[in-house]
């Protein structure tokens, strides 16, 4: 899991104290990473842009030291043409800083020369012990199997589009598992906690998301990304009970089961990490009740903690309820979701 500075949710605030807030968010919730997004090296997409320098207002040694004290590793955003001019020197520098990875953006091409650039970039990043997240990228084609430091990529219409469009609907979200997700990991950037019912949503800053809080939580299980970037501002996570789910959910899995699904209508999945199962479902703008066969579970008594929509959700998309119960593999679970809703559960022995 990776905290992400305020470009997405509140506009660019590239200042030392603001970055420290996100490092604190990552540390408090045991996220391994924090991403410093654009403008950390000042101007970008300019011939004079230099990815080996730091914007005047930032104290990078202090930020790196602060993150180290908090047990958080840093990622850096880069505009692709800026880093291409000086990639060897830049990656060597980032390695010396102890940077964990780079998010490279705005390529927006998929011709032969660009594909070669992707391969060369990931290979050089591996040489300098850097993970890679490609944004403004074409969809995956499988070469992350050759370069395991290629963790994820965008190539998806994700939460970012809520800033300026009405396109990120519940229908869109329950289509992605059957389309884009088949190609490989996608950095959708889930975790918007300013949740809106569909009819109340409008693009704005501070950015909102369409769908219920449980619909948003379900994305962390349904959508696959080994580096999952959590998109919202620390203030919007403060005092929210369901933040404990973000502390527990995983980003890599030992087993995956698709329990129910219909393109554009709903999806229910279960994923296993060690001895825990995480189960999640999302629905489109129609409310529905799921009857879930728990036969995938091991024999014996299991503990389930479930987060789901409730009656209050129909008026306030941020509302949800918790319940803990004992379940067995022979049982069926009945869960009702609000329009644009969902659920998540953690199952342990």
| Distance of alpha carbon 307 from alpha carbon 22, whole angstroms | 25
What is the DSSP-derived secondary structure letter of residue 211? B
Q: What is the DSSP letter of 120?
A: H
Annotation marks residue 113 as catalytic: no
Structure tokens at 60: 């990078």
Rounded Cα gap, residues 250 and 46, in angstroms: 38
Token reading at 279:
């189960």
- Work out the angle between the directed axes of helices 87-97 and 112-127 (0-180°, nearest 10): 30
Question: Which one of 5, 37, 82, 105 is the catalytic residue?
Answer: 105
- Answer yes or no: are the C-beta atoms of 249 and 137 closer than 8 Å: no
Among candidate residues 5, 37, 160, 232, the one labeled active-site is 160
Token couple for 172: 């869109």
DSSP state of 173: H
Residue 160 appears among annotated catalytic residues: yes
In angstroms, the CA 348 to CA 303 distance is 5
**DSSP secondary structure code for residue 315 in this structure:** T
Q: Which tokens is 121 given?
A: 């970039």
- Torsion angles phi and psi, residue 180, rounded to 5: -55, -40
Instruction: Please identify every residue annotated as catalytic.
Output: 105, 160
């Amino acid at each position: 899991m990776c905290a992400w500075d305020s470009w997405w949710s509140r506009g660019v605030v590239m200042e030392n104290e603001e970055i420290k807030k996100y490092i604190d968010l990552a540390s408090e919730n045991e996220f391994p990473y924090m991403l410093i997004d654009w403008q950390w090296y000042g101007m970008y997409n300019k011939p004079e842009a230099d990815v080996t320098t730091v914007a005047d207002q930032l104290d990078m040694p202090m930020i790196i030291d602060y993150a180290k004290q908090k047990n958080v590793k840093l990622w850096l955003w880069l505009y692709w043409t800026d880093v291409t001019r000086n990639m060897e020197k830049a990656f060597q520098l980032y390695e010396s800083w102890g940077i964990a990875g780079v998010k490279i953006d705005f390529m927006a091409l998929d011709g032969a020369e660009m594909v070669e650039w992707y391969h060369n970039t990931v290979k050089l990043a591996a040489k300098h012990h850097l993970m890679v997240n490609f944004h403004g990228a074409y969809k995956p084609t499988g070469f992350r199997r050759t370069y395991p430091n290629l963790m994820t990529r965008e190539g998806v219409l994700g939460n970012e589009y809520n800033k300026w469009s009405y396109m990120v609907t519940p229908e869109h979200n329950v289509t992605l598992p059957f389309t884009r997700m088949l190609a490989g990991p996608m950095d959708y950037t889930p975790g918007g906690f300013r949740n809106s019912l569909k009819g109340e949503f409008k693009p704005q800053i501070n950015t909102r998301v369409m769908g219920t809080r449980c619909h948003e939580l379900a994305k962390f299980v349904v959508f696959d990304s080994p580096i999952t970037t959590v998109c919202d501002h620390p203030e919007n996570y403060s005092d929210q009970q369901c933040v404990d789910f973000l502390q527990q959910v995983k980003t890599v899995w030992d087993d995956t089961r698709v329990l129910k699904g219909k393109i554009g209508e709903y999806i229910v999945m279960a994923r296993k990490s060690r001895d825990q199962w995480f189960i999640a479902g999302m629905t489109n703008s129609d409310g529905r009740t799921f009857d879930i066969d728990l036969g995938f579970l091991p024999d014996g008594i299991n503990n389930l903690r479930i987060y789901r929509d409730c009656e209050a959700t129909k008026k306030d998309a941020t509302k949800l309820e918790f319940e803990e119960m004992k379940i067995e593999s022979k049982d069926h679970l009945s869960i009702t979701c609000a329009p644009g809703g969902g659920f998540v559960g953690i199952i342990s022995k």
